[in-house]
Amino acid sequence: MLKTIVMGFHALIAVSLIAAVLLQSGKSAGLSGAIAGGAETFFGKKKGVDQLLSKVTVVLAIVFGLMSLILTVW
């Protein structure tokens, strides 16, 4: 019973991680986009929503990895 609840929570985390990655804005393509993106990061012009989604993605990825290890051992 408890393992089923944990697996359901794991699936919810997986779907949330997918959504967080898909909601992030894409990077510009080509050499000019790489230069502009580097300059924006260097001067700290990262948008608030993108920064929040980036942090949420990292947290969800860590939780997903830990839960995967727990379910493997369990």
Query: What is the rounded distance in angstroms from the CA atom of residue 60 to the CA atom of residue 37?
Result: 25
Q: Looking at the predicted structure, is the pLDDT value of residue 33 above 80? A: no
pLDDT attached to residue 25? 82
pLDDT attached to residue 41? 59
Query: What is the rounded distance in angstroms from the CA atom of residue 71 to the CA atom of residue 2?
Result: 11
pLDDT attached to residue 39? 57
Express each pLDDT in 8-32 by its tens digit.
Answer: 999 999 999 999 999 988 776 555 5
Q: What is the DSSP letter of 27?
A: P
Q: Looking at the predicted structure, is the pLDDT value of residue 69 above 80? A: yes
Nearest Cα to Cα of residue 39 among 26, 27, 48, 49 = 27
- Find how far residue 27's CA is from the centre of its chain: 15
Contacts of 47 (CB under 8 A, 6+ apart): 25
The more confidently predicted of residues 57 and 30 is: 57
